[in-house]
Chains A and B, each alone.
Chain A
Amino acid sequence: MKRKLRNGIREAFEPPKSPGKEAFLRNIWQPTLDYRGFLLSQLHYIRKRVWILSFLFVMYSLLFLLKQTEGSCSYESVWIIGAMLPFLALTAVSETIKSGWWGMQELELSCRYSLNQVIFARLLFIGSGNLITLTVILVLTEKTLSAGFFRTGLYLLTPYLLTCALCLILSGRVRGREGRYGYAVTAAGVSAANSLLRYLEHSVYQPDYLIFWLFSVGISAGIIVYRLHCMKKEMEARSWNLYLAE
């Protein structure tokens, strides 16, 4: 409704011209780095551990696949690899929202390419990296199962997305570096829960339980979208650094 109203007002009234805008712009320093250049510059500031961890997971999945003998096919690969993925999610979330942990958000907010653009850049690169990692792992894992891409994808995505969702919920409640411990506990908890699924292997990974996996992925994805939306709003309202000591 608000957006409709805004668009309606925009269509009905022509905005007044800014007085002296051109003279102002002529007199001020203009950035020499365009948005694309800024985005690329941010790739350099994503810590190497994020990429190393992704690489190690892919390597582990590959080794696991090679170790599997034909006919030994079971859901072992799903719960083992699934139990590792919360840690991939943990590095992704913690790298994306590290500004708050390290007290950089106020400086980043005051820059031309502001905090929300920095976070977007991180999400773009880390998200793409994780997507590639997950796809490779999915392709490798699927070869040991007869469950098909869709079901295998759900089994692997659930622990990953659930960890992301829980960490993002936590990020809204625990500010600063104390959150790190909470995130680590969350990732370990999801990983442990996923490992316990080995005892339910003959039921929970069966097609009858597909709705449970779909529901888990859907809810987790919904929470992630909602939390990212909240974070964007908080940054726009410039109110999220209020926990800093006055």
Chain B
Amino acid sequence: MELVFSGVTKKYGDKTVCDNLSMKMTKGVYGLLGANGAGKTTLMRMLAGVLDTTEGTIAYDSFDVKSEDYRNILGYLPQSFGYYPEFKARDFMLYLAALKGLEKKEARERTKELLALVSLEKEARQKIRTFSGGMKQRLGIAQAMLNDPKVLILDEPTAGLDPKERIRFRNLISRLGNDRIVLLSTHIVSDVEQIADTILVMKDGRFICKGNREELAGEMTGKVWECQTDETEAEKICASHSVTNIRKEEEKVLLRVVSDRKPHLEAVCVKGTLEDLYLYYFSSANPMDTDML
């Protein structure tokens, strides 16, 4: 079971959205992390076979991703998806089950099972247009699993889910990753940190780092600092460095800073996390990214 992509490039005119990406994926959960516009969705679409590459090849066990055989083993949740206005949750599932080639009886059974799995069994006969964002997202996750896929591609699956639903979703994905390839993209660091076996960080259409949580956190050795200062000094540090956390403690302010150099005389070097790494790569390029941590 291998999903291999090699030299994958996508260009829209002069703009290169994905630039010469290569990787071999085997069983497990892969987390694709990056800011908006990093090229995550484009890569996901190409891996799902719904968008052509400009250059490069993508194959699952040497079968092209555009083949019917590949679509048989694919589960895909796009970043945003719609539904026909008259559809109830059950209709939506049965419709996609037919498109995935499930016979009626099997489709009904899978639909019931999956709607229960995402806690939508009571809403099965409710119109989708009455659903909240989180409910729609859970329905999207359920449809992706209709054909028990070997390759599960989930683009921003946790968007709109509340904390309880996110925890349930993470547990579900961890289980699913045991016997299939799961690729999920997000800009929420904690989602991938806890479930992904391999984390891919994407920026400007390229992978800027790959590895497991420990390996990536290790890259931050000597770059994460904590210091306690007064408010005036803290403001100065905030203005000149990337600060991942600020906590007020009585008279003092405790700062966690990501920087190549020591930000303050009394700063102490501490162990880095994935959040620190994210901020290290993305904060200077786009300050908005820190809002998503």
Name A residues whose Cβ lies closer than 8 Å to a Cβ of B. Answer: 18-21, 24-25, 28-33, 37-38, 41-42, 45, 47, 98, 102-104, 106-114, 118, 237-239, 241-242, 244-246
Contact A110 B76 (CB under 8 A): yes
Contact B50 A113 (CB under 8 A): no
Contact B147 A112 (CB under 8 A): yes
- Could you jot down 17 A-B contacts, CB within 8 Å? A24-B63, A28-B69, A29-B147, A29-B148, A30-B101, A31-B101, A31-B102, A33-B98, A37-B103, A38-B101, A102-B83, A102-B85, A107-B81, A109-B49, A112-B71, A113-B100, A113-B101
Quick check: is B78 within 8 A (CB to CB) of the other chain? yes
Which residues on B sit within 8 Å (CB–CB) of A238? 49-52, 66
- Chain B: minimal CB distance from A207 (Å): 46
Question: Smallest CB-CB separation from B40: which chain A residue?
Answer: A246
Q: A24-B62, A112-B99 are in contact. List 18 more A-B contacts (CB 8 A).
A: A29-B72, A29-B73, A29-B148, A32-B103, A103-B82, A104-B83, A104-B84, A107-B81, A107-B143, A110-B49, A110-B50, A110-B74, A111-B101, A112-B100, A112-B147, A113-B98, A114-B71, A246-B42
Which residues on B sit within 8 Å (CB–CB) of A110? 48-50, 71, 74, 76, 78
Name B residues whose Cβ lies closer than 8 Å to a Cβ of A. Answer: 12, 17, 37, 41-42, 45, 48-52, 61-63, 66, 68-69, 71-74, 76, 78, 80-86, 95-96, 98-104, 106, 143, 147-148, 150
Contact A241 B51 (CB under 8 A): yes
Which residues on A sit within 8 Å (CB–CB) of B52? 237-239
Bound form: Cα–Cα A109–B71 in Å:
9
Contact A41 B98 (CB under 8 A): yes
Bound form: Cα–Cα A190–B95 in Å:
34
**Most chain B CB neighbours (cut-off 10 Å) among A25, A30, A111, A238:** A111
Bound form: Cα–Cα A112–B76 in Å:
12
Which residues on B sit within 8 Å (CB–CB) of A25? 69
Question: Smallest CB-CB separation from A41: which chain B residue?
Answer: B98
Bound form: Cα–Cα A38–B95 in Å:
10
Question: Smallest CB-CB separation from A113: which chain B residue?
Answer: B99
Bound form: Cα–Cα A110–B72 in Å:
9
Contact A104 B69 (CB under 8 A): no
Bound form: Cα–Cα A47–B85 in Å:
11
Q: Select one of A42, A107, A112 contacting B68, CB under 8 A.
A: A112
Which residues on A sit within 8 Å (CB–CB) of B73? 28-29
